[in-house]
Amino acid sequence: MPGGPCQDGEVRRRIPALIADLVAVLVFVLLGRRSHDEGSALAGTVATAWPFVAGAAVGELAALRLPARSPAAGAVVAGCAVVVGMPLRRFAGGGTPLSFVLVATTFLVLFLVGWRAVAAVLERRRVAVR
């Protein structure tokens, strides 16, 4: 669609945000697995990560009309990672106690919104220096 958010240039501009979001979700999973002495075996990491990666992917689609690096986009991605990811995790046999939901939500919001907030501050500083 001409002028829409899915033009080739826009897709290319979104790739760094997609990668940063994937890294944030994987850091969440790896830290969680480490804190519970579950190790970092590939199969276990994938089994733990896929529900949240799927939820974040839904969030990426839901946030297409927002600038990829905006904190609002991060909030949408984080919200979907939790709202979609938790039921998927439960369906796959993983636990979803309230404490886990709260920790996951806090971490994902901090990281998915946080990197965008840091990027915005750095961008404002870069523009101010010009």
Per-residue model confidence as pLDDT tens digits over 41-65: 888 889 999 999 999 999 999 999 9
Q: Among residues 56, 66, 129, 116, which one has the least CA distance to residue 86?
A: 56
Q: CA-CA distance, 12 to 14, in Å (whole number)?
A: 5
Per-residue model confidence as pLDDT tens digits over 66-88: 999 999 999 999 999 999 999 99
Q: Are the CB atoms for 93 and 83 separated by under 8 Å?
A: no
Alpha carbon 5 to chain centroid, angstroms: 19
Q: Among residues 82, 81, 80, 76, which one has the least CA distance to residue 63?
A: 76
- R_g of the chain computed on alpha carbons: 16
Alpha carbon 34 to chain centroid, angstroms: 19
What global pTM score does this model have? 0.86
Domain boundaries, the chain: 8-129
pLDDT at 88: 97
